[in-house]
């Protein structure tokens, strides 16, 4: 029987658990994977965990408030499938969520706080995955244009549109569009939409002047209506909203975004980018914008720091792609409705949970290619070493299980000694057992039980704690891991839960169930407004124990940023530090409650009107004044892994993809991992878990929103689903994938190489590439031996194939025909071998690639290819440390890159030349020197050497030497000369096609 792959997952947050769930989904017979989860402490949930306080009504104590957005397709899908697997009634998952179609942003106008209620129209769609996708900028821009126009024309401002202003607006539109004046566009926004339609093939080519004139006309239309409307909050607010909308539209219309996606503006701060796009300062300082920053804790040292790309994509997805409601509040804490059932389900699927296991370090093999050893500490011993820790408790009077605030001491050896020690604290003084546990990579030399060996590791422990866990990775891969650990930023957060003995309405707030943001003045220091967001979470009281004592009448959750202490001690036995931090937080919260809470809740003022009525807080009898806060829950999220992951400008390129670790048996899960939704949120964490499981299993899994949604990236191969082939043929197919493998270059007699080319193609000497090239008698041939992963079309959210591929490539090839497009030299591939049928089929039929099925096996640098034409074999080893192209060690790569970076030319079965572009993205690839032997016979080597084996030096030592590399590539759609590109062809490819086709040879 085949051995099952042992997967060790570290961390018990939503990302890690999603990865475990999806692995089980791909392994229904439980024959492929042995899964073990190792996590700190006694409970699951990570930043969404809950602890039920058995001494106080089983209150649910949490890290902070958690709201789901209506666009969390992957997260809702997870809940839906989990409930289905558990055999729960079809609609039971719905009971856990309450759709919310509005939220409040607090405005500070002339020193007065005013609630600004913002509504979003619900729709009939069901949250989850429904096959609809498409988050490219141009798609979102079109939706935005319609949405803003409809909203504007249906707003009260519309009645103040002045006829004269309308006439001049129509003139302006007519001039830009080149249409008669009587062609009426209701606003300049539909004219922009028409312009997009008109230049559908190349939206990025819309003239900046036309764009500015139309957006300017819209702004003037709004200004004139606002000017004519009566002064007041309503007009002022619409003015702000449409100013922001104008900025977004202008920004999205920029060529960079339309052609390269949201990543193109990642280096810019969101507010600065909006300002560049014409937004007024007062709009950028408005409550709605402040609220957006609060929502993502988007500040570093009190300064706004959100990437323009990530911020814009998240905002557009929230506004335009939500299903049902824009937000969903939770009727139970996530840890109860999701983590507890998930835990039970995964136990049933034989996933082994190892609570009380702290991951300390990942140790690399000496060549950096594998995780060889994992160091953990076991925090406690169980009384019965053969038993498994049972983490859930019953909530008295309720029919579900939850997680306790402390571990169950009765199951733990000497458990009574644990009381008062926090196993989840980086500064715990619990010496406990602290037994070291080592997991070793299973190999022929290291065998062992599933308990102490692993094949694959998934790192899901949250970003903040990775610096020490990943120190070897940082040293070995400074360009990728080092950069990631340095450049992805996090922030501490502060959360408060208040149990009140009055209903929300009795406090003077008339919108129960509120989610509110923007309740802070950015110009003041942090202690003035430590908590900027509030959620009325009163429905959660229903899940508390109702048996004894008084049940609160309302429950308020507040959260905010918590600035770092001046000095944060490194993890060490120092419990005084977290205690001091709670006191620092309370020192700001108490005056804030006295000063600010009565602003929100006018009836919460004390009798003399000087501050907060502390009697409203539930507390034991005899507790007076601010001491009643001690009976609430104040939480400082200061442990390294608890820090909220930020999306600061320029950090996107430092994030690592779930399968982009550079290490063959290490995968990532977490909201800090690159997914395409690169923001600290539940959806990003779920996406990363799914992507990691997809990468490991090679299974077919739809992950809406995954990848750079801006690009419709480019195809090479893919899908087992034949119906999609039609779509591919229709136009904008696009494929991406990642490859890991070896590159070898050999030089051969030019006449012999020429014989590998079909009629119509000739060698173009690669002048300037060294003496061999200049002699014109020798020509290079490049061989790529690779393991391909996640190969899929970018526009279809399924796929993700794995296979071997061996490419023979002749660089510097030209076309003989006088009518041939220039744009070359080209690269021609006389042979491509794959061990998977679908990509062969697609490659041959769509691209004219000479693909053949072959039997290919590989292990590290050894590849064996057997096909109908003959055999190829390699025996390559790595030499030296890996690094990126910019590293001086790899200066010789430049010449090989010049061989590989040209467009591809191929010949279809119908005899037409086809052009495409395989972008290896070498700037972000990882390289390592390699050397050894390659066995090539005829016909692959046009001048076979007598021994059949060639010695290949390393690129570190010689030009055109061998190297190992790992990269994520893109392949363009295929284009034929003379054929007009279809309108669905993506803009970046349009640019490529234009270069290729426009310049004809003299
Ligand atoms: C205050 C606050 C409010 C938020 N509100 C929202 C919201 O409203 N909506 C939303 O979508 N998102 C919200 N988020 C973000 C969301 O909670 C996170 O994005 C998500 O929970 C991250 O999940 P994760 O699995 O990536 O990491 P985590 O949840 O951090 O999980 C990490 C796991 O690893 C474990 N671990 C850590 N170190 C070790 C170690 N050394 N060894 C073993 N195990 C370890 C931890 O115990 C934990 O189980 C909020 C976050 C915070 C902090």
Q: What pLDDT is recorded for position 842? A: 65
Comparison of pLDDT for 901 and 752, the residue scoring more: 752
Q: What are the residues whose beta carbons fall under 8 Å from the beta carbon of 182, sequence distance 6 or more?
A: none
The residue behind tokens 């073990």 is: 36
Ligand 1 pocket, residue 48 CB under 6 Å = yes
**What proportions of the chain, in percent to the nearest 5, are helix, strand and coil?**
35, 25, 40
- pLDDT higher than 60, residue 921: yes
Q: What pLDDT is recorded for position 720? A: 25
pLDDT band at 204 (very low <50, low <70, confident <90, very high): low
Q: What pLDDT is recorded for position 716? A: 24
Nearest Cα residue to 455 out of 467, 439, 471: 439
Summarised one tens digit per residue, pLDDT across range 502-547 is 999 999 998 888 999 999 998 899 999 999 999 999 999 988 887 6
Q: What pLDDT is recorded for position 994? A: 41
If one counts every other C-beta atom within 10 angstroms of the C-beta of residue 676, the result is 22
Ligand 1 pocket, residue 682 CB under 6 Å = yes
Q: Average pLDDT for residues 760-785, to the nearest whole number?
A: 83
98, 331 in Cβ contact below 8 A? yes
The DSSP symbol for 945 reads -
pLDDT band at 444 (very low <50, low <70, confident <90, very high): confident
The DSSP symbol for 2 reads P
Distance 47 CA to ligand 1 centre (A): 3
d(CA 708, CA 736): 11
Element (H, E) at 192: helix 188-198
Nearest Cα residue to 238 out of 57, 116, 131: 116
Q: What are phi and psi of 812, to 5 degrees?
A: 55, 70
Comparison of pLDDT for 3 and 983, the residue scoring more: 3
If one counts every other C-beta atom within 10 angstroms of the C-beta of residue 451, the result is 12
| Beta bridge partners of residue 381, listed in sequence order | none
pLDDT band at 797 (very low <50, low <70, confident <90, very high): very low
- pLDDT higher than 80, residue 1: no
Summarised one tens digit per residue, pLDDT across range 652-666 is 989 998 988 888 899
Q: What pLDDT is recorded for position 131? A: 65
Q: What pLDDT is recorded for position 990? A: 41
- Ligand 1 atom, smallest distance to 45 CA: 49
d(CA 783, CA 920): 14
282, 252 in Cβ contact below 8 A? no
612, 605 in Cβ contact below 8 A? yes
Q: What percent of the chain has pLDDT over 70?
A: 88
Nearest CA to ligand 1 atom 14: 681
Comparison of pLDDT for 397 and 415, the residue scoring more: 415
- Ligand 1 atom, smallest distance to 72 CA: 11
pLDDT band at 488 (very low <50, low <70, confident <90, very high): very high
Summarised one tens digit per residue, pLDDT across range 256-279 is 788 778 988 999 999 999 999 999
What distances in angstroms separate CA 399 from CA 81, 394, 547, 549, one per listed residue? 22, 8, 13, 19
Distance 48 CA to ligand 1 centre (A): 6
Ligand 1 pocket, residue 956 CB under 6 Å = no
Nearest CA to ligand 1 atom 39: 461
Ligand 1 pocket, residue 460 CB under 6 Å = yes
Q: Average pLDDT for residues 756-784, to the nearest whole number?
A: 83
Q: Average pLDDT for residues 28-53, to the nearest whole number?
A: 96
If one counts every other C-beta atom within 10 angstroms of the C-beta of residue 413, the result is 15
If one counts every other C-beta atom within 10 angstroms of the C-beta of residue 337, the result is 23
- pLDDT higher than 80, residue 409: yes
Residues 968, 869, 874, 852: what is their CA dihedral angle, to the nearest 10 degrees? 10
Q: What pLDDT is recorded for position 991? A: 44
What's the mean per-residue pLDDT of the chain? Answer: 87
Mutate to test the pocket of ligand 1, among 16, 42, 47, 674 (most ligand atoms within 8 A of CB): 47
d(CA 136, CA 44): 35
Q: What pLDDT is recorded for position 849? A: 79
Q: Is 461 helix (H, G, I), strand (E, B) or coil?
A: coil
């Amino acid at each position: 029987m085949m051995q099952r792959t042992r997967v060790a997952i570290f961390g018990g947050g939503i990302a890690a658990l999603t990865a475990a769930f999806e692995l089980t989904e791909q392994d229904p017979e439980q024959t492929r994977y042995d899964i073990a989860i190792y996590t700190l402490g006694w409970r699951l949930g990570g930043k969404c965990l809950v602890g039920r306080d058995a001494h106080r009504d089983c209150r649910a104590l949490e890290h902070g408030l958690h709201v789901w957005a209506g666009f969390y397709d992957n997260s809702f899908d997870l809940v839906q499938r989990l409930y289905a697997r558990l055999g729960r009634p079809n609609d039971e998952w719905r009971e856990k969520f309450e759709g919310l179609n509005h939220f409040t942003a607090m405005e500070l106008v002339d020193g007065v706080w005013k609630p600004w209620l913002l509504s979003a129209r619900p729709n009939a769609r069901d949250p989850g995955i429904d096959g609809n996708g498409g988050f490219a900028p141009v798609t979102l821009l079109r939706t935005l244009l319609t949405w803003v126009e409809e909203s504007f024309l249906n707003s009260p401002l519309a009645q103040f549109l002045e006829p004269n202003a309308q006439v001049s607006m129509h003139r302006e539109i007519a001039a830009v569009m080149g249409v008669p004046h009587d062609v009426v566009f209701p606003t300049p926004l539909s004219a922009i939409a028409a312009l997009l339609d008109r230049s559908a093939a190349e939206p990025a080519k819309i003239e900046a002047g036309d764009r500015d004139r139309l957006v300017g006309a819209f702004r003037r239309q709004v200004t004139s209506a606002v000017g004519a409307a009566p002064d007041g909050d309503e007009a002022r607010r619409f003015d702000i909203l449409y100013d922001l909308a104008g900025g977004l539209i202008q920004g999205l219309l920029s060529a960079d975004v339309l052609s390269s996606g949201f990543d193109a503006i990642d280096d810019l701060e969101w507010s600065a980018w909006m300002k560049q796009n014409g937004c007024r300062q007062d709009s950028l300082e408005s409550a709605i914008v402040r609220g957006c920053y609060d929502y993502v804790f988007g500040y570093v040292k009190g300064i706004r720091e959100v990437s323009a790309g990530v911020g814009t994509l998240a905002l557009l997805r929230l506004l335009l792609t939500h299903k049902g409601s824009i937000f969903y509040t939770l009727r139970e804490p996530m840890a109860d409705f999701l983590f507890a059932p998930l835990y039970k389900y995964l136990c049933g699927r034989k996933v082994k949970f190892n609570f009380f296991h702290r991951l300390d370090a990942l140790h690399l093999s000496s060549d950096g290619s594998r995780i060889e050893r994992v160091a953990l500490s076991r925090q406690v011993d169980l009384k019965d070493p053969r038993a498994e820790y049972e983490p859930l408790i019953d909530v008295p009077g309720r029919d579900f299980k939850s997680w306790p605030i402390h571990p169950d001491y009765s199951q733990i050896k000497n458990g009574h000694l644990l009381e008062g020690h926090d196993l989840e604290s980086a500064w715990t003084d619990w010496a406990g057992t602290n037994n070291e546990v080592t997991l070793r990579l299973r190999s022929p030399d290291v065998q062992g039980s599933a308990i102490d060996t692993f094949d694959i590791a998934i790192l899901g422990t949250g970003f903040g704690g990775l610096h020490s866990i990943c120190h070897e990775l940082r040293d070995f891969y400074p360009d990728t891991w080092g950069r990631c650990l340095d450049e992805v930023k996090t922030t501490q957060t502060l959360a408060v839960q208040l149990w009140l003995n009055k209903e929300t309405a009795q406090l003077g707030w008339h919108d129960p169930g509120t989610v509110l943001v923007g309740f802070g003045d950015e110009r003041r220091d942090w202690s003035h407004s430590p908590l900027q967001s509030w959620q009325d979470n009163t429905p959660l009281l229903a899940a508390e124990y109702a048996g004894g004592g008084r049940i609160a009448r309302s429950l308020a959750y507040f959260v905010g940023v918590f600035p770092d202490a001046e000095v944060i001690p490194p993890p060490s036995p120092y419990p005084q530090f977290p205690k001091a931090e709670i006191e620092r937080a309370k020192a700001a919260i108490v005056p804030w409650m006295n000063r600010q809470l009565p602003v929100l809740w006018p009836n919460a003022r004390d009798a003399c009107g000087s501050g907060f009525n502390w009697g409203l807080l539930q507390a034991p009898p005899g507790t007076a004044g601010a001491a009643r806060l001690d009976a609430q829950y104040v939480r400082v999220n200061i442990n390294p892994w608890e820090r909220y992951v930020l999306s600061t400008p320029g950090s996107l390129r430092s994030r690592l993809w779930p399968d982009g670790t550079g290490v063959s048996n290490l995968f990532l899960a977490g909201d800090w991992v690159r997914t395409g939704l690169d923001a600290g949120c539940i959806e990003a964490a779920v996406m990363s878990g799914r992507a990691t499981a997809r990468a490991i299993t090679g299974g077919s899994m739809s992950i809406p929103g995954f990848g750079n949604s801006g690009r419709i990236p480019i195809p090479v191969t893919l899908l087992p689903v034949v119906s999609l082939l039609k779509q591919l043929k229709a136009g904008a197919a696009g494929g991406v994938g990642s490859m890991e493998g070896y590159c070898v270059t050999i030089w051969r007699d030019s006449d012999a190489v020429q014989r590998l080319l079909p009629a119509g193609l000739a060698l173009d000497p690669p002048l300037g590439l060294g003496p061999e090239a200049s002699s014109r008698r020798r020509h290079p041939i490049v061989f790529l031996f690779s393991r391909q992963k996640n190969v899929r079309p970018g526009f279809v959210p399924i796929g993700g194939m794995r296979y071997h591929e061996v490419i023979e490539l002749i660089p510097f090839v030209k076309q003989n025909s006088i009518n041939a497009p220039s744009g070359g030299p080209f690269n021609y591939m006389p042979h491509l071998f794959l061990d998977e049928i679908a990509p062969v089929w697609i490659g041959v039929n769509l691209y004219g690639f000479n693909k053949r099925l072959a039997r290919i096996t590989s292990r590290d640098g050894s590849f064996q290819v057997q096909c109908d034409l003959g055999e190829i074999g390699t025996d390559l080893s790595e030499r030296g440390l890996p690094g990126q192209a910019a590293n001086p060690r790899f200066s010789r790569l430049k010449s090989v890159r010049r061989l590989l970076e040209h467009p591809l030319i191929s010949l279809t079965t119908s005899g037409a030349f086809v052009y495409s572009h395989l972008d290896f993205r070498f700037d972000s690839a990882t390289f390592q020197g390699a050397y050894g032997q390659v066995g090539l016979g005829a016909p692959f080597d046009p001048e076979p050497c007598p021994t059949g084996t060639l010695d290949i030096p390393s690129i570190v030592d010689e030009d055109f030497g061998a190297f190992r590399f790992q990269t994520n590539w893109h392949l363009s759609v295929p284009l034929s000369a003379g054929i007009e590109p279809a309108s669905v062809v993506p803009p970046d490819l349009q640019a490529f096609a234009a270069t290729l086709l426009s310049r004809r040879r003299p």
